[in-house]
Structure 1
Amino acid sequence: MYPRLEGKSAIVTGAGRGIGESIALRLAQEGAEVLVVGRSMAPLAETVESIAEAGGKAWAVAADISSESDVEIVVREAKGRWETIDILVNNAAVFEEPPFLEISPETFRKTFDINVTGTFLLSQAVAKEMISAGQGSIVHISSIDALGADGPVSAYTATKAAVVSLARTMTMELAPLGIRVNCVAPGFVNTDMTQKTSTPVVMDHMLNDFQRVPLRRLVEPEEIATAVAFLASDEASAITGTNLVVDGGLTSNLYVMETLPEEWVPLA
């Protein structure tokens, strides 16, 4: 691996575990100095330690991105260490909610506050800093849930669609200022959360014979991180406004033919 991000600075939210942790590690491996952000310091400290053990540079700030004052703290910390902020990865999100008929307005608002408003607040604050350098790369972590429902998670699904839409609008306004904005949409990923919410039989199926997915397996967090590192780098200099799907081919199949009551007879 060559250091595509040598000398770059990066902020990664939700970096204490799972996909966010993998993204922070990958950006550091490629030469970036990384500020990891999350609501709890303990897992962030572990991410920083992992990066340091691998020879990278990182430090942590505990913050709630849905809070304007906390966002100000994050940006102030970054500006105190770096002359410019080159990369922002908006990964922080919440996922816990009951079915549509049971979800409370408070839970719905909280999901939007973190997943959408938090992404907006930090993106706006960082973009204002990127303008002075005339360049920057912002990557939102969206989801295949922005493309279709996969369970009783109406608030989460709505927030991810909003994040994709936000990225498109940001693209139109920020591209003339030298700032690129993209999304990475993970499919089903092999994270701690997936393992905690799945039985051993289900995990074995998803890891080794996930028939609904063309690649027949879960996506690994490191594979999401690879996509993010590419979009953050100058190798993606002409790419902005896209939602890069990393799902093992899951959304390429509408899953209609497989569910018919009998085999389809093609026209001849």
Structure 2
Amino acid sequence: MAQSLTGKVALVTGAGRGIGRETALALAKEGVNVGLIARTEASLKEVAAEVETLGVQAAYAAVDVSSPEQVEKAVVNLTDKLGTFDILINNAGIMKKGSFLEMDPEDWKQTIDVNLMGVYHVTRNVLPQLIEKQGGDIINISSMSGLKGTAGSTAYSASKFGLLGMSEALMQEVRPHNIRVFAMTPSMVATELTGKGDSTEEEKQKFMQPEDIAEYMIAQLKLHPRIFIKTSAQWATNPF
């Protein structure tokens, strides 16, 4: 029997748009109170208002997940407002493309700092709460680029391959505490990150939409606590 999510508290990073926004709304529809983290306060404010129209609490913090100091302060503040977390969705990420030699070293480093170290910083601050509760869920959004490298994506692939390795090891560490760690590797999703944020109606029938990923996460979270999906890949049925 699927478990209810009502009354739980979730933290969603990259929550100002795309997958993060749709995930926050999907959680709210299940009765989950939602903490929101992203870099742009204006978009966070809009998402928080939408979440609250669904009858749950929302709180947000505009931070850069690559900053350990900002993340630590944000988690403390959001916990004070919402209570301790049960669910963590690590969705925040950036994508910078360019050949290995052409890409600016700072862009390469920033990709790792956000996509990999950002997940580390947020998880490091939330995980003690889950361990204290002896239960919870962590979902890390990797990418198909974490399974297969392509030309022009050395930094992005490195960050997403690394995230899968971290997720695998963390999963083994926290299973004794009844904490589930899922890693997801979606292919093309129509978001601003992938350059498909303004999809035509025809494209919307071809490319996965943020709400598809959100719906999938809700299904995973509602699984009976005795089971979880360690890693999973999501593909558009026919994106050509």
> Common fold, TM-score beyond 0.5?
yes
Relative to structure 1, the CA distance from residue 71 to residue 195 in structure 2 (aligned partners, 3 Å threshold; closer, same or farther) is closer
Residue 55 of structure 1 aligns to a residue whose secondary structure is coil
Equivalent residue number for residue 51 of structure 1:
51
How does 1:179-198 map onto structure 2 within 5 Å? 179-195=179-195
The Cα shift of 1:151 comes to 5.1
Structure 1: runs of 5 or more not aligned:
209-216, 251-268
Residue identity opposite 1:152 in structure 2: G
RMSD between superposed Cα atoms in Å: 2.4
Residue 15 of structure 1 aligns to a residue whose secondary structure is coil
Residue identity opposite 1:6 in structure 2: T
Residue identity opposite 2:221 in structure 1: A
The Cα shift of 1:235 comes to 3.2
Relative to structure 1, the CA distance from residue 233 to residue 77 in structure 2 (aligned partners, 3 Å threshold; closer, same or farther) is farther
Residue identity opposite 2:147 in structure 1: L
How does 1:7-26 map onto structure 2 within 5 Å? 7-26=7-26
Residue 224 of structure 2 aligns to a residue whose secondary structure is helix
Give a deviation string over 1:94-117, Cα, whole Å, max 9, x none: 112322220122111111011001
The Cα shift of 1:130 comes to 1.1
Contact map agreement 2:15 2:37 (CA 8 A) in 1: yes
Contact map agreement 2:9 2:83 (CA 8 A) in 1: no
Aligned length: 238
How does 1:122-201 map onto structure 2 within 5 Å? 122-150=122-150, 152-195=152-195
Q: Which moved more, 1:176-185 or 1:47-56?
A: 47-56
Identity of aligned residues (%): 32
Contact map agreement 1:139 1:231 (CA 8 A) in 2: no
Q: Which moved more, 1:100-109 or 1:160-169?
A: 100-109
The Cα shift of 1:243 comes to 1.8
Give a deviation string over 1:224-266, Cα, whole Å, max 9, x none: 00121223334364115x222111257xxxxxxxxxxxxxxxx
Give the alignment partner of residue 244 of structure 1, picking from 210, 232, 238.
Answer: 232
Q: How far apart, in 2, do the equivalents of 1:171 and 1:53 lie?
A: 34
The Cα shift of 1:83 comes to 4.0
Instruction: Give the TM-score normalised by structure 1.
Output: 0.81
Give a deviation string over 1:113-143, Cα, whole Å, max 9, x none: 1100110111122111111111110000111
Equivalent residue number for residue 106 of structure 2:
106
Equivalent residue number for residue 212 of structure 2:
223
The Cα shift of 1:191 comes to 2.0
Give the alignment partner of residue 235 of structure 1, picking from 209, 224, 238.
Answer: 224
Q: How far apart, in 1, do the equivalents of 2:28 and 2:39 lie?
A: 21
Contact map agreement 2:11 2:88 (CA 8 A) in 1: yes
Instruction: Give the TM-score normalised by structure 2.
Output: 0.90
The Cα shift of 1:70 comes to 1.0
Q: How far apart, in 2, do the equivalents of 1:143 and 1:195 lie?
A: 15
Residue 235 of structure 1 aligns to a residue whose secondary structure is coil
Relative to structure 1, the CA distance from residue 142 to residue 196 in structure 2 (aligned partners, 3 Å threshold; closer, same or farther) is closer
Residue identity opposite 1:10 in structure 2: A
Q: How far apart, in 1, do the equivalents of 2:190 and 2:202 lie?
A: 12
Q: How far apart, in 2, do the equivalents of 1:171 and 1:4 lie?
A: 22
Contact map agreement 2:3 2:224 (CA 8 A) in 1: no
Residue identity opposite 2:180 in structure 1: R
Relative to structure 1, the CA distance from residue 65 to residue 36 in structure 2 (aligned partners, 3 Å threshold; closer, same or farther) is same
Structure 2: runs of 5 or more not aligned:
none
Residue identity opposite 1:230 in structure 2: A
Q: How far apart, in 2, do the equivalents of 1:7 and 1:77 lie?
A: 19
Q: How far apart, in 2, do the equivalents of 1:47 and 1:137 lie?
A: 22
Relative to structure 1, the CA distance from residue 221 to residue 236 in structure 2 (aligned partners, 3 Å threshold; closer, same or farther) is farther
The Cα shift of 1:21 comes to 0.5
